[in-house]
Chains A and B, each alone.
Chain A
Amino acid sequence: MKTYPEIKKVLVANRGEIAIRLCRAAQEEGLRAVAVYETPDAKNRHVHIADEAVWIGPGPRKDYLDIDRIIWAARKSGSQAVHPGYGFLAENPKLAAACEDAGLVFIGPSASTIQLLGDKTIARNLAEEAGLPTIPGSGILPPGEQGKQAAVEFGEKYGYPVMLKAVAGGGGRGIRRVDTREELSSQIGLAEAEALSAFNDGRLYLEKALIGPRHVEVQILGDTYGNIIHLGARNCSIQRRHQKLVEVAPSLLPKSIEDAVCAAALAYARHVGYINAGTVEFLVDADGKFYFLEINTRLQVEHTVTEVVTGIDIVRRMLRVAAGRELDVSQEAVFCRGFAIEMRINAEDPKNGFAPESGKTVAVYNSPGGPGIRLDGMVYQGYKIPTEYDSLLVKLTVYGFKWDEAVSRLKRALTNFRIVGPKTTIPFYRSLVSEAEFKSGSFDTGYLDRHPELFNYPDQEEQVAKIARLLSAIHHNQKNPFAL
């Protein structure tokens, strides 16, 4: 049995809201949290919420992606463990391996698990071995003309539309839908070039595209003692160009289907001997047939909804499992009670293709409170939307005992935000939470395409903010310049 060093300090190898989330969990576990930061992030909140902070370079982005600097920061700060969060190095097996080499605990699955499951084809083969249904796929296409030929044959056999995917893609990137044979022939070259430049790996494969599918995923937790449990399912169907916008727990599927999906995810995790937190993703079609999609070997952005409905702190358990402790929750002790919905409040202009409002300063930030509201944020009054990093301000997670209750609470919470400065996704979400299909909970991944009217939301700024601006102008001019 592997022995574990005692963990007293955890290096949080990330930034923004997830770094704050990790610091909080570490601090609750009685550990010291060490932040890392690049120069543009020097004033960022995670730096101050952590117990210590280590500057790792001028950035932007490259130092957060630099494994050597992360290891250096862990050593320098005397940390015993490294939590990668999501994004950056979270699914890079080299960081996990470097930690192992350096005698540091990597908080997540082993390097070999990350490596293996990060390969979409292997992950899929493992799913088939474990008896999970998979979407008919082509396997990795050979390069060049041969690949094109194989792709066309696949299209003939299973029919269109098909999804063209990059082997190294993920998180919604490197995926495109192809509707005809002609389109397939013309897209393959483009997709290959794109994958090569984005992931340094141009390999592609094809999958049959499902009609009206829901994106459902199952949270998995495993320890080094062979205990593996699931924490129920999440529905992440509302997506924009394959990027999740709204996540819900549980899945909103009929119970029998949800149970089957969770059982399948558990079977998969057991088959691969999964340790620590992970997420098995599925597509569920209109008939309730489900297909394995992929597995994410990390903490997800939307883990909060699962925490809210189960009451189980996933991040704290990630820390404990990594420290060699046994899971303190059995499958029988996991209950999902009620509903949780998470929305990512971003400084973006939804009317302008969700373009980030980089460079703008949050002049006013007031957040909602009261029952059933959880905020995981990095924003504060005076926060400047970085040009270097993402535009997430705060994740809003609401709880309701009934679905309707959660939706109405979400609406209330969105109304209680007051953010002056950048445009945000809040007014768009406000129109979304009032829309009938969303309120019924029957949405699938085609939801946003079916509801372009959601983007016709009214001006987001409240009357009082505008009138305050006028009063300030009246004061400044010593009389009302608009009444002269």
Chain B
Amino acid sequence: MPIRIKPGDDVKSALAAIRSTDAYFITNTARDLSQSDFKNRILAHTDILVAPEREAAGYFSLEITGGASVHVDMLRKQINPFERLALLRNLMPQTLFQTLCRGVNLFGYRPYPENVIRLTVQEFAKFVDVWRVFDFLNHVPNMIPVFEEVQRAGVFLEPSICFSTGPEHTDEYYVKKAGEIIDVTGQDILLALKNHSGLGTPARIGQLVSSLLNAYPELIIHYHGHNTDGNDVGRIVAAVTAGAKIVDAADHAMTGFFGPPPILTVLDVLQEMEYRAEAIDRDAIIATSDKLKKERPSYAVFESQFKGFDPTVHTHKLPGGAMGSSFEQAVKGGFLDRMPEILMKELPKVHQELGNFWSVTPGSQILWTTAVTHTLSGKRYVNASEDLKRLLLERYGPFPFYRPADEIYEAAFGPSWKTTLVNDCGIEDCPPMDIGAEKKTLEKELGRSADTNELVLYLQHPRDALDFFRFEEEYGKTFVLPPSIWLKDGGFDQGEVIDFTDNMGKLHQIIFSGTQDLNDGSSLNYLYVDHHLEAFLHHAEDSGQPAAVKKELSQSEIAALAEMGEVRASMGGVVVQVPVEVEQKVAEGDTLVVMEAMKMLNSLESAIAGVVSEVAVTKGQQVARGDLLVRVRPLRSKDNTDNP
């Protein structure tokens, strides 16, 4: 009888069963297909489509939630992350579901209060059986509340050791780190070796696994790597040979870039070396990809602009998840020609200068943004982002190896940097949140009662959760739509037929009949809905997110406007702080708005000295690229006389 660990199995005896076999196990990392945006775009519809095959394949686990997916489910896929898990659980009763949790940052980018962390883990643990938990500084205290709640829920805890290369990244360091974790959690865990950038040679990985097992022979090591350099199969083989029990790989129809390598390749290579994969059904793996091949073209628009592997990752160390988005930003920002310089020169330098910690969320974003700013501005560390300042002040945790040089602090914080560092350094204290009050606010906003799942989503992403709840009220359960419809580009053809089954199992047919443009600029779409003609009115400015579609300012136009005192958002995001008010005098370089965008805090500074004439946004407001934030008019002689 093959060993198959199922949801609800006792953790202790399941771990004993894993130790008892000389075979290895495979995790399907569907969530981490990488290329950043691409992986986050895979719809529940697709996961549901291949659920029977993935269930039959006999994986140790399916990584199907976590990371940014909780946020993106609501933001771009308009599905309740809990409902998605419940739907899949129904179709896959025998498969463990795995998540990736960023410690105190949970599924977000910044620490949450401890009571929010605990409630969130409790609610997700009802659906998630394996909890991979990491911290980008490998700072164990940042993971403890999650550890405790996962163990309390009686599901599998998988603390991670983030892996990187360099003189500090020794076996001794990592063995000691494993010891720190075990001191907190005990032996009844899985330990992830998290190689998010796919670094190191196979020999290096094999050696590290051996060292860990020498120190802790009972430890079950779960190797996770990315195939950015094209050689993660080599590392996986080395890890299994050295005694790792579980390895990560992905469905081959969705691989080919910076995500994990194909499951089938791993399976066949290790098979020839007489390593047996426990409970695996090879035909089901192939059947999964046969189905996925037909779906992948629908997501083509989100695939990285650059196809192929990138062995230079060993120098720049960008994690697989950030590779695609970095090129995307370079294209949008018009600095694609500077990429070799950024990736091969500035990024490694910045990485070294800032402490050689692990390039993974949110650390990877800080490194990347800093390197880009340096290269484009020609100035180093003077325009430090809020997140970089937080890193320097050890808000996220202590530097693991060494603190950056004093010159960097001086450049980032100015001449009084020493005082700042002395008075204002250390982990941020995150006071508990009044969850009851938050629930009342949520229910007031919704005009109805909210359940605990909805509250958990709201606590993590208040604005986006609310937007999603409203979307669902207006448009219903849209996860029934296939990617070809959900991501339809250019509208529907006249006579186009859309067949779908709703969430209750009813079949429907919608046929596009035509569009009538009315003379006031609005238009009427005529659709046959289950054989009955219905008209839908759209006003001229009517769209889901009007600003995003309406304003198409380029980066250079936005920059030009900034020079004239008109500060506009250079990308979509949330206004975190507006430290100025109307009629306030500002100097060149004063912070006008702090925005959170692409997981980063950015200060937008005044390009001119002047007086604030308009504040167009408020704290917490979601803005789209090109939206006006603050207007500054240049100083006039009158202003000077008013205030000598």
Interface of A with B (CB < 8 Å)? 363-364, 366, 418, 420, 459, 461, 463-484
Residue of B476, B477, B487, B532 near A483 (CB, 8 A) is B487
Q: For A366, give the chain B residue with the smallest CB separation.
A: B532
The proximity string for B residues 377-402 relative to A, scoring 1 for CB distances below 8 Å and 0 otherwise, is: 00000000000000000000000000
Q: How large is the interface on B (under 10, 10 to 19, 20 to 34, 35 or more residues)?
A: 35 or more
Residues of B within 8 A of A465 (CB): 529, 534
- CA–CA, A465 to B510, complex, Å? 10
Contact B544 A482 (CB under 8 A): yes
Known contacts A420-B534, A473-B543, A467 near B492 by CB under 8 Å: no
Known contacts A479-B488, A483-B487, A484-B548, A471 near B527 by CB under 8 Å: yes
State how many angstroms separate the Cβ of B548 from the closest Cβ of chain A.
6
Residues of B within 8 A of A420 (CB): 534
Residues of B within 8 A of A472 (CB): 525, 527, 536, 538
List the 6 shortest-distance A-B pairs measured between CB atoms, nearest first.
A481-B544, A466-B476, A472-B536, A463-B502, A470-B475, A476-B538
Contact A481 B548 (CB under 8 A): yes
A-B contact pairs, 12 of them (CB 8 A): A464-B506, A467-B500, A470-B475, A474-B491, A475-B488, A475-B492, A476-B525, A478-B491, A479-B490, A480-B487, A482-B545, A483-B77
Contact A469 B530 (CB under 8 A): no
Contact B538 A473 (CB under 8 A): yes
Contact A476 B543 (CB under 8 A): yes
Kindly name the residue among A468, A479, A481 whose own CB sees the greatest number of chain B CB atoms within 10 A.
Answer: A468
Residue of B488, B510, B523, B536 near A480 (CB, 8 A) is B488
B473 in the interface, Cβ–Cβ < 8 Å? yes
State how many angstroms separate the Cβ of B525 from the closest Cβ of chain A.
4
State how many angstroms separate the Cβ of B491 from the closest Cβ of chain A.
4
B418 in the interface, Cβ–Cβ < 8 Å? no
Contact A475 B515 (CB under 8 A): yes
Residues of A within 8 A of B488 (CB): 474-475, 479-480
Known contacts A463-B502, A481-B549, A484-B76, A469 near B543 by CB under 8 Å: no
B197 in the interface, Cβ–Cβ < 8 Å? no
- CA–CA, A480 to B487, complex, Å? 6
Residues of B within 8 A of A468 (CB): 510, 527, 529, 534, 536
Residues of A within 8 A of B474 (CB): 466, 469
Q: For B467, give the chain A residue with the smallest CB separation.
A: A482
Contact B545 A481 (CB under 8 A): yes
State how many angstroms separate the Cβ of A278 from the closest Cβ of chain B.
42
Contact A480 B486 (CB under 8 A): yes
Residues of A within 8 A of B476 (CB): 461, 463, 466-467, 470
Contact B502 A467 (CB under 8 A): yes
Residues of A within 8 A of B548 (CB): 481, 484
Residue of B485, B491, B504, B534 near A364 (CB, 8 A) is B534
Residue of A363, A466, A479, A483 near B535 (CB, 8 A) is A363
Residue of A471, A479, A483 near B510 (CB, 8 A) is A471
B520 in the interface, Cβ–Cβ < 8 Å? no
Residues of B within 8 A of A476 (CB): 491, 523, 525, 536, 538, 542-543
Kindly name the residue among B490, B529, B548 whose own CB sees the greatest number of chain A CB atoms within 10 A.
Answer: B529
Residues of A within 8 A of B534 (CB): 363-364, 420, 465, 468
Q: For B477, give the chain A residue with the smallest CB separation.
A: A463
Known contacts A363-B535, A469-B474, A472-B527, A481 near B543 by CB under 8 Å: yes
B480 in the interface, Cβ–Cβ < 8 Å? yes
- CA–CA, A420 to B523, complex, Å? 19
Residues of B within 8 A of A471 (CB): 485, 492, 498, 510, 512, 527
B481 in the interface, Cβ–Cβ < 8 Å? yes
Contact B510 A467 (CB under 8 A): yes
Residues of A within 8 A of B473 (CB): 459
- CA–CA, A366 to B529, complex, Å? 11
Residues of B within 8 A of A469 (CB): 474-475, 536
- CA–CA, A478 to B525, complex, Å? 12
Interface residues of B in 511-540 (CB under 8 A from A): 512, 515, 523, 525, 527, 529-530, 532, 534-536, 538
Q: For A466, give the chain B residue with the smallest CB separation.
A: B476
- CA–CA, A291 to B458, complex, Å? 58
State how many angstroms separate the Cβ of A472 from the closest Cβ of chain B.
4
Known contacts A418-B532, A463-B503, A475 near B477 by CB under 8 Å: no
B471 in the interface, Cβ–Cβ < 8 Å? yes
Residue of A364, A464, A478, A481 near B490 (CB, 8 A) is A478
The majority secondary structure among interface residues of chain B is: mixed
State how many angstroms separate the Cβ of A467 from the closest Cβ of chain B.
6
Q: For A472, give the chain B residue with the smallest CB separation.
A: B536
Contact A467 B512 (CB under 8 A): no
Residues of B within 8 A of A364 (CB): 529, 532, 534
Residues of B within 8 A of A366 (CB): 532
Q: For B492, give the chain A residue with the smallest CB separation.
A: A475
B489 in the interface, Cβ–Cβ < 8 Å? yes
Q: For A468, give the chain B residue with the smallest CB separation.
A: B529
B78 in the interface, Cβ–Cβ < 8 Å? yes
B478 in the interface, Cβ–Cβ < 8 Å? yes
Q: For B531, give the chain A residue with the smallest CB separation.
A: A366
State how many angstroms separate the Cβ of B281 from the closest Cβ of chain A.
34
Interface residues of B in 496-510 (CB under 8 A from A): 498, 500, 502-504, 506, 508, 510
Residue of B489, B532, B542 near A478 (CB, 8 A) is B489
Contact A467 B543 (CB under 8 A): no
Contact B543 A464 (CB under 8 A): no
State how many angstroms separate the Cβ of A151 from the closest Cβ of chain B.
44
Contact A464 B508 (CB under 8 A): yes
Q: A469-B474, A476-B543, A483-B76 are in contact. List 18 more A-B contacts (CB 8 A).
A: A463-B480, A464-B510, A466-B475, A467-B480, A468-B527, A468-B536, A471-B492, A471-B510, A475-B488, A475-B525, A477-B544, A479-B487, A479-B490, A480-B544, A483-B77, A483-B487, A484-B544, A484-B548
Interface residues of B in 74-92 (CB under 8 A from A): 76-78
Q: For B471, give the chain A residue with the smallest CB separation.
A: A482
The proximity string for B residues 48-91 relative to A, scoring 1 for CB distances below 8 Å and 0 otherwise, is: 00000000000000000000000000001110000000000000
Residue of B475, B530, B545 near A484 (CB, 8 A) is B545
- CA–CA, A470 to B477, complex, Å? 11
Residue of B489, B506, B536 near A479 (CB, 8 A) is B489
Residues of A within 8 A of B542 (CB): 476
State how many angstroms separate the Cβ of B16 from the closest Cβ of chain A.
45
State how many angstroms separate the Cβ of B328 from the closest Cβ of chain A.
14
State how many angstroms separate the Cβ of B391 from the closest Cβ of chain A.
30
Residues of A within 8 A of B545 (CB): 481-482, 484
Residues of B within 8 A of A482 (CB): 76, 78, 471, 475, 544-545
- CA–CA, A137 to B354, complex, Å? 94
- CA–CA, A479 to B549, complex, Å? 10
Residues of B within 8 A of A477 (CB): 543-544, 549
- CA–CA, A467 to B481, complex, Å? 9
Residues of A within 8 A of B504 (CB): 463
Kindly name the residue among A366, A464, A482 whose own CB sees the greatest number of chain B CB atoms within 10 A.
Answer: A482
Residues of A within 8 A of B529 (CB): 364, 464-465, 468
- CA–CA, A176 to B576, complex, Å? 57
- CA–CA, A420 to B515, complex, Å? 20
Q: For B475, give the chain A residue with the smallest CB separation.
A: A470
Q: For B491, give the chain A residue with the smallest CB separation.
A: A475
Q: For A420, give the chain B residue with the smallest CB separation.
A: B534
Residues of B within 8 A of A467 (CB): 475-476, 478, 480-481, 500, 502, 508, 510
- CA–CA, A471 to B478, complex, Å? 10
Q: For A365, give the chain B residue with the smallest CB separation.
A: B532
- CA–CA, A88 to B475, complex, Å? 42
Contact B525 A483 (CB under 8 A): no
State how many angstroms separate the Cβ of A180 from the closest Cβ of chain B.
36
Q: For B77, give the chain A residue with the smallest CB separation.
A: A483
Residues of A within 8 A of B78 (CB): 482-483
Q: For B512, give the chain A residue with the smallest CB separation.
A: A475
State how many angstroms separate the Cβ of B192 from the closest Cβ of chain A.
31
Known contacts A475-B515, A476-B523, A476-B525, A464 near B475 by CB under 8 Å: no
